[in-house]
């Protein structure tokens, strides 16, 4: 299968030969740790070149297709680095499953100016054109994708608030019903009904990374930030900013540089809570009740 964007290969060796030339072969595969879903490897080819490989069971091939589509959309803005995707495939031999092969990013500790540049680059990515990324609507994406291991619905909508209600909060709330009592379920319904008063339409649609926490960018050898592992879609830029703040936040100079490039409208701190309710619900659904108190707190705040 070839999805027209990422070449698909019947084995890892076939992919390596097609991308790097017939004589190319893997001489070393070292595990890279730090991800929570896939097995990751740093491959070394006979000519010394390094390649990054993610592998998982065959059934997980759709995750890799979605990741490749998200990386391609971000790369299409030309504003911020993402690893070049070389190809994907299913290797029934030694690897025994699906794989995604991409550029290996050498890492460096963030140096002076890193956070300011990152803030400006993200702001520019959020201002890039989104034509063709949410066909038939303004918000959404080319296809559904994944948020961590959870399914993310991206059906295009003309309104951001409707999109966030129908494709973000509602599906997660439905799944989380087993954790919520009837009071919270009713509160959540009221929150959905009031969403037009709480959120607002953006000045322009933005391509979002979609899962922008500190594990999903790298400081590259060029001293710049590189985005990895997106759950990309077209939405309100504030939703990306909110996610950066969910687990501790980035340094203030990142946000200052961002705002200089792309101002954030008044009232954002309140809207941030609702944007992050989506991620907290997803965490509740994936990892269990450690996230329940935070979810209940936000529902209670907006629908007492
Ligand atoms: P998962 O899909 O399992 O969440 P990640 O995308 O988080 O995996 O990647 C796993 C590890 O590999 C992390 O430590 C991450 O920093 C590193 N990594 C991810 N992409 C690259 C890349 N292109 N080059 C080098 N290291 C990478």
pLDDT digits (tens, 9 = 90+) for 214-251: 999 999 999 999 999 999 999 999 999 999 999 999 99
Centroid of chain to Cα 204: 20
**Which parts of 200-250 fold into alpha helices (H)?**
237-246
Relative to the CA of 104, which ligand 1 atom is closest? 24
From atom 8 of ligand 1, which residue's Cα is the shortest distance away? 35
Give yes or no for residue 36 CB within 6 A of ligand 1. Answer: yes
What integer pLDDT is reported at residue 2 of this predicted model? 38
Relative to the CA of 102, which ligand 1 atom is closest? 23
Does residue 102 sit in helix, strand or coil? strand
Q: What is the pLDDT of residues 109-145, one digit of tens each?
A: 999 999 999 999 999 999 999 999 999 999 999 999 9
Torsion angle of C-alpha atoms 213, 277, 36, 61, degrees rounded to 10: -100
Give yes or no for residue 37 CB within 6 A of ligand 1. Answer: yes
From atom 5 of ligand 1, which residue's Cα is the shortest distance away? 35
Contact partners, residue 211, CB within 8 Å, separation at least 6 = 147, 148, 229, 230, 231, 243
CA distances from 87 to 1, 19, 72 (A): 12, 8, 12
How far, in Å, is the centroid of ligand 1 from the Cα of 35?
Answer: 6
Give the range among 9-13, 101-105, 256-260 with minimum mean pLDDT: 9-13
How far, in Å, is the centroid of ligand 1 from the Cα of 242?
Answer: 22
Contact present, 233 and 203 (Cβ < 8 Å): no
Q: What is the pLDDT of residues 36-65, one digit of tens each?
A: 789 999 999 999 999 999 999 999 999 999
Long-range contacts of 162-165 (CB under 8 A, 24+ apart): 163/137, 163/139, 163/235, 164/195, 164/199, 164/235, 164/236, 164/239, 164/275, 164/278, 165/192, 165/195
Give yes or no for residue 38 CB within 6 A of ligand 1. Answer: yes
Which residues carry out catalysis?
211
How far, in Å, is the centroid of ligand 1 from the Cα of 18?
Answer: 23
Give yes or no for residue 35 CB within 6 A of ligand 1. Answer: yes
Give yes or no for residue 52 CB within 6 A of ligand 1. Answer: yes
Give yes or no for residue 96 CB within 6 A of ligand 1. Answer: no
Q: For the purposes of burial, counting CB atoms within 10 Å of the CB of 87, is it exposed (0-12), middle (13-18) or buried (19 or more)? A: buried
pLDDT confidence band for 1 (50 / 70 / 90): very low
């Amino acid at each position: 299968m070839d999805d027209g964007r990422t070449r698909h290969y019947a084995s890892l060796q076939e992919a390596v030969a097609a991308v790097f030339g017939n004589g190319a072969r893997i001489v070393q595969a070292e595990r890279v740790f730090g991800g929570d879903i896939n097995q990751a490897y740093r491959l070394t080819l006979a000519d010394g070149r390094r390649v990054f490989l993610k592998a998982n069971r065959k059934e997980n091939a759709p995750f890799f297709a979605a990741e490749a589509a998200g990386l391609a959309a971000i790369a299409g803005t030309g504003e911020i680095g993402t690893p070049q995707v070389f190809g994907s495939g299913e290797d029934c031999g030694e690897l025994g499953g699906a794989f995604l092969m991409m550029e290996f990013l050498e890492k460096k500790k963030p140096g002076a100016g890193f956070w300011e540049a990152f803030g400006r680059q993200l702001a520019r990515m959020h201002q890039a054109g989104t034509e063709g990324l949410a066909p038939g609507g303004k918000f959404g994406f080319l296809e559904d994708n994944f948020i961590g291991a959870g399914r993310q619905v991206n059906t295009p909508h003309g309104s951001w608030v409707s999109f966030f209600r129908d494709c973000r909060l509602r599906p997660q709330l439905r799944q989380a019903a087993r954790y919520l009592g009837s009071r919270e379920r009713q509160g959540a319904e009221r929150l959905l009904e009031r969403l037009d008063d709480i959120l607002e339409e953006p000045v322009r649609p933005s391509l979002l990374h979609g899962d922008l926490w500190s594990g999903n960018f790298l400081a590259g050898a060029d001293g710049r930030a590189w985005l990895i592992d997106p759950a990309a879609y077209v939405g309100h830029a504030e939703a990306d900013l909110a996610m950066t703040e969910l687990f501790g936040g980035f340094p203030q100079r990142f946000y200052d540089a961002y705002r200089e490039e792309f101002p954030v409208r008044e009232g954002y701190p309140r809207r941030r809570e609702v944007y992050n309710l989506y991620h907290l619900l997803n965490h509740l659904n994936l990892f269990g009740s450690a996230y329940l108190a935070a979810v209940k707190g936000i529902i209670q705040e907006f629908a007492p």
